[in-house]
C-alpha cells in the first residue's frame, strides 16, 4: 500500500526540523540513506546523516527555517525553504531546494540538496 502524501511530507519535514533542533532522533532514515549536496556526497548512510544533524558544525549555524513548501510526485518530496543562519542580527538566510525519496515504509532513502549563498532577508 502506498504511503499517503502527507506522511511523505512529514518525513521530509522531520529532517528539516532537525536542522534547527539538532536532534535527529525522530528523522526516519533508512540505513542506506545517502545525501548529496551541490553534487557532492555529504551523507554516506542513515547513521552518518543522523550524526551530522545532531552535531555537525555545518548545521550549528542554522537557527530557524521559514517559508517551507513541499510537493509530492510519486515517492519524491520536493521542498523549498529558507535556512536562517547566525549571527541573528545580520538577518542572513539561504534558499534551499531539497528532494527526498521516501519509501512506502515512511523512511527517507535519499536526499539531494542545493542552496544559495546566505543573503539578508527581511
70-115 per-position pLDDT tens digit: 999 999 999 999 999 999 999 999 999 999 999 999 999 999 999 9
Q: What is the pLDDT of residue 122?
A: 63
Characterize 113-122 residue by residue with b for buried, 16 or more Cβ atoms within 10 angstroms of its Cβ, and e for exposed. Answer: beeeebeeee
Half-sphere exposure in the Cβ direction for 4 (13 Å, CA): 3
Predicted TM-score (pTM) of the model is 0.94
- Quick check: 31 pLDDT over 90? yes
Domains of the chain: 5-120 (3.10.450.50)
Q: Quick one: CA dihedral 101, 118, 65, 20, positive or negative?
A: positive
Amino acid at each position: 500500500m502506498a504511503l499517503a502524501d502527507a506522511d511523505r511530507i512529514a518525513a521530509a519535514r522531520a529532517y528539516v526540523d532537525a536542522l534547527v533542533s539538532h536532534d535527529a532522533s525522530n528523522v526516519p532514515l533508512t540505513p542506506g540513506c545517502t545525501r548529496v549536496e551541490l553534487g557532492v556526497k555529504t551523507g554516506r548512510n542513515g547513521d552518518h546523516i543522523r550524526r551530522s544533524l545532531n552535531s555537525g558544525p555545518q548545521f550549528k549555524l542554522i537557527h530557524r527555517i521559514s517559508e517551507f513548501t513541499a510537493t509530492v510526485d510519486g515517492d519524491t518530496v520536493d521542498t523549498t525553504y529558507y535556512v536562517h543562519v547566525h549571527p541573528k542580527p545580520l538577518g542572513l538566510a539561504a534558499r534551499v531546494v531539497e528532494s527526498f525519496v521516501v519509501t512506502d515504509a515512511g523512511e527517507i532513502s535519499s536526499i539531494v540538496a542545493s542552496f544559495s549563498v546566505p543573503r539578508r532577508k527581511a
